[in-house]
């Protein structure tokens, strides 16, 4: 049997957490993550660190890498950015082997302790098993309750650990069969990279809600959440892992594809196109940058404004603002300058921290905006924190009018599939109509792109064309899977603040 040697970043300590804890702002445990794996590469762990670096935007709280040297598994995990946790090059000497996988994560308060940092690892009947997961399992609590009742002892509060216990307790003869058996029991969204002594398994849930791509560096095989990570490690993009597909790669580079779920119609997450993926990634054959630019074009057609300047909220609003400016003929200018030493503001648990971050992150370019009518473009409004501050910032800098245009429809519903959104009662669009939202953020006018405009921008005819349909539950409330752990009231949301 293989074993694992674990290293933790020295500053980390196990935090005492209530299983399935709720954050201090009442949000349930959600995660946003990036995953990366390579098999058949020299210094595999350092390739993974580089890949995770390119996926840092997907999660900034914690990072972990697990490697396998043909006999033993090794792991290093810590809280912080990739560059911080893996700053000391000597760490890679402690992560030997030609196969490694890794994970960057963000979790809301209550789930960020060391024991939740992935890849998770267990010694199973066939040997070591590590798992890195992007997504959220929507019946994990229900399955966990049952497993605990039958004697399973959980080490973390992560939904991902349920998969390990399901594999461990499955009665099927081979590891692959037991893995598939486990997947058949789970609902929700998952892109997974697992390592076993026999090799690597990469898979996506039947609807392909979360992304996962495959590439090659020479004879080594690479899997990553986004193509940008392939670019950064010098891998050639080969193809997406298809929705519902399991790819098994052995140490000789032999790949087998399995489709245990038949051929369901995919529903990839449309919010990856709107915000989450990096603009230099290709998702579903579509350049994310082009999608966002095109959303701006649609927005300009649907919601024109009489203004002097188009100003993006950097960085998330930039491609859409370029599209809006091109379509409207209004000049694009950088009326807000962003500090690059502050990360994603949303990705900071707790409201007060988030408020402070917004202020540190953006500053008005006074010389440009004073006396001007501004069209401000951002990708989305969630709680309204950013918009309120930015509109105010434009006014303080002397803008004569501020028209807010949003490159997605109103975010009216929570995501249960691994994009962190707060409970519904905290979503501005769930609490207010358009006019009240405009009043709240103190804009002279406010408009969102329509859901059909968004579908057109990502290359579809309209939302009902179904070729493919996306998961757009955050905008429509139409959830494409069961949500067993969440009762109807939680899904419908309490809309009184
Ligand atoms: P808020 O300030 O709560 O309205 O959040 C909106 C801002 O957060 C926008 O500028 C987005 O760029 C960003 N954002 C939206 N959704 C997310 C998410 N799920 N994770 C991280 N950032 C987000």
Q: How far apart are CA 493 and CA 49, in angstroms?
A: 39
Helices 351-361 and 385-396: crossing angle, nearest 10°?
Answer: 40
Query: Which domains does the chain carry?
Result: 5-27+288-463 (3.40.50.2020), 32-268 (3.60.20.10)
33 is catalytic: yes
Q: Give the ligand 1 atom nearest the CA of 275.
A: 12
- Would you state the pLDDT for residue 468? 67
C-alpha span between 96 and 45 (Å, rounded): 7
Query: Is the minimum distance from the CB of 382 to ligand 1 under 6 angstroms?
Result: yes
140 Cβ inside 6 Å of ligand 1? no
Query: Is the minimum distance from the CB of 344 to ligand 1 under 6 angstroms?
Result: yes
The rounded distance, in Å, linking the Cα atoms of 73 and 462 is 48
Q: Cα(132) to centroid of ligand 1, in Å?
A: 24
For a mutational test of ligand 1's pocket, the pick from 135, 311, 321, 386, i.e. the residue with the most ligand atoms closer than 8 A to its C-beta, is 386
Bridge partners of 336, per DSSP, are 364
Torsion of the alpha carbons at 106, 111, 112 and 116, rounded to the nearest 10 = -100
**Structural contact between residues 65 and 49, judged by C-beta atoms closer than 8 angstroms:** yes
**194 marked as binding residue:** no
Tell how far the Cα of 381 is from the centroid of ligand 1, in angstroms.
Answer: 6
DSSP reduced 3-state for 393? helix
Specify the residue for token string 């603002």.
Answer: 321
Q: What is the pLDDT of residue 32?
A: 86
Q: How far is the CA of 383 from the centre of ligand 1 (A)?
A: 8
Model pLDDT, residue 341: 82
Q: What pLDDT sits at residue 258?
A: 98
**CA of 358, closest atom in ligand 1:** 2
Q: Is the CB of 420 under 6 A from ligand 1?
A: yes
Distance between CA 234 and CA 215 in Å, rounded?
A: 9
Atom nearest to 384 CA in ligand 1: 4
CB contact set of 39 (below 8 Å; sequence gap of 6+): 98, 99, 195, 199, 200, 220, 221, 249, 251, 253
- The candidate with the shortest Cα–Cα distance to 206, out of 284, 264, 163, 268, is 264
Question: Please, which residues bridge with residue 189 across strands?
Answer: 136
CA of 399 to the centre of ligand 1 (A): 24
| Backbone angles phi and psi of 429, in degrees to 5 | -70, -20
Ligand 1 atom with minimal separation from the 382 CA: 4
Centroid of ligand 1 to alpha carbon of 199 (angstroms):
37
Contacts of 42-47 with CB under 8 Å at 24 or more apart are 42/98, 43/92, 44/97, 44/98, 44/99, 44/100, 44/220, 45/74, 45/92, 45/95, 45/96, 45/97, 45/100, 45/102, 46/92, 47/100, 47/217, 47/220, 47/222, 47/233
255, β-bridge pairs: 249
pTM score: 0.92
Phi, psi (deg, nearest 5) at residue 170:
-70, 150
Coil vs helix vs strand at 278:
coil
pLDDT in tens, the chain (497 residues): 344 565 555 433 323 232 333 233 333 344 689 999 999 999 999 999 999 999 999 999 999 999 999 999 999 999 999 999 999 999 999 999 999 999 999 864 445 678 899 999 999 998 999 999 999 999 999 999 999 999 999 999 999 999 999 999 999 999 999 999 999 999 999 999 999 999 999 999 999 999 999 999 999 999 999 999 999 999 999 999 999 999 999 999 999 999 999 988 999 999 999 999 999 999 999 999 999 999 999 999 999 999 999 999 999 999 999 999 999 999 999 999 998 887 655 445 455 655 566 668 899 999 999 999 999 999 999 999 999 999 999 999 999 999 999 999 999 999 999 998 889 999 999 999 999 999 999 999 999 999 999 999 999 988 887 766 999 999 999 999 999 998 777 777 754 43
């Amino acid at each position: 049997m293989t074993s694992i040697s674990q290293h933790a970043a020295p500053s980390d300590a196990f935090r005492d957490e209530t299983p399935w804890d709720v954050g201090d702002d009442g949000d349930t445990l959600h995660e946003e993550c990036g995953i990366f794996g390579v098999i058949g590469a020299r210094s595999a762990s350092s390739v993974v660190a580089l890949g995770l670096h390119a996926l840092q935007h997907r999660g900034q709280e914690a990072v972990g890498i697990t490697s396998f040297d043909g006999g033993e598994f090794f792991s290093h995990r810590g809280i912080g950015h990739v560059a911080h946790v893996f700053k000391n090059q000597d760490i890679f000497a402690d992560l030997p082997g030609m196969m490694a996988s890794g994970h960057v994560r963000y979790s809301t308060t209550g789930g960020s302790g060391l024991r939740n940092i992935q890849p998770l690892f267990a010694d199973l009947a066939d040997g070591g098993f590590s798992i890195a997961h992007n997504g959220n399992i929507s019946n994990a609590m229900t399955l966990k309750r049952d497993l605990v009742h039958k004697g399973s002892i959980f080490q973390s509060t992560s939904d991902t650990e349920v998969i390990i216990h399901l594999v461990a307790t499955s009665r099927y003869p081979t590891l692959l069969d037991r893995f598939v058996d486990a997947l058949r029991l789970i609902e929700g969204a998952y892109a997974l990279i697992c390592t076993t002594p026999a090799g690597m398994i990469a898979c996506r849930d039947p609807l392909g809600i979360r992304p996962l791509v495959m590439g090659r560096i020479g004879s080594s095989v690479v899997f990553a959440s986004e193509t940008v990570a392939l670019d950064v490690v010098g891998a050639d993009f080969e193809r997406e892992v298809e929705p519902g597909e399991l790819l098994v790669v052995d140490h000789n580079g032999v790949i087998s594809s399995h489709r245990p779920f038949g051929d369901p119609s995919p529903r990839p997450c449309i919010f990856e196109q709107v915000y989450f993926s990096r603009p230099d990634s290709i998702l579903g054959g579509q350049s994310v940058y082009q999608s966002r630019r095109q959303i701006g074009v649609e927005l300009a057609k649907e919601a024109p404004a009489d203004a002097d300047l188009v100003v993006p909220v950097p960085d998330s609003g930039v491609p859409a603002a370029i599209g809006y400016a091109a379509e409207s003929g209004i000049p694009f200018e950088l009326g807000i300058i962003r500090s690059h030493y502050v990360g994603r503001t949303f990705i900071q648990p707790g409201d007060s921290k988030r408020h402070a971050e917004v202020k540190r992150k953006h500053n008005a370019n006074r010389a440009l905006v004073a006396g001007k009518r501004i069209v401000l473009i951002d990708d989305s409004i969630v709680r309204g924190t950013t918009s309120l501050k930015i509109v105010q910032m434009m006014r303080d800098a002397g803008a004569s009018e501020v028209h807010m245009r949003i490159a997605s429809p109103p975010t009216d519903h929570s995501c249960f599939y691994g994009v962190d959104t707060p409970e519904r009662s905290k979503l501005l669009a769930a609490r207010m109509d358009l006019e009240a939202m405009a009043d709240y953020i103190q804009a002279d006018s406010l408009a969102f792109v329509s859901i059909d405009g968004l579908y057109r921008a990502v290359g579809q005819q309209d939302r009902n064309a179904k070729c493919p349909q996306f998961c757009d539950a955050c905008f429509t409330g139409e959830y494409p899977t069961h949500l067993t752990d969440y009762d109807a009231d939680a899904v419908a949301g309490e809309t009184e603040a």
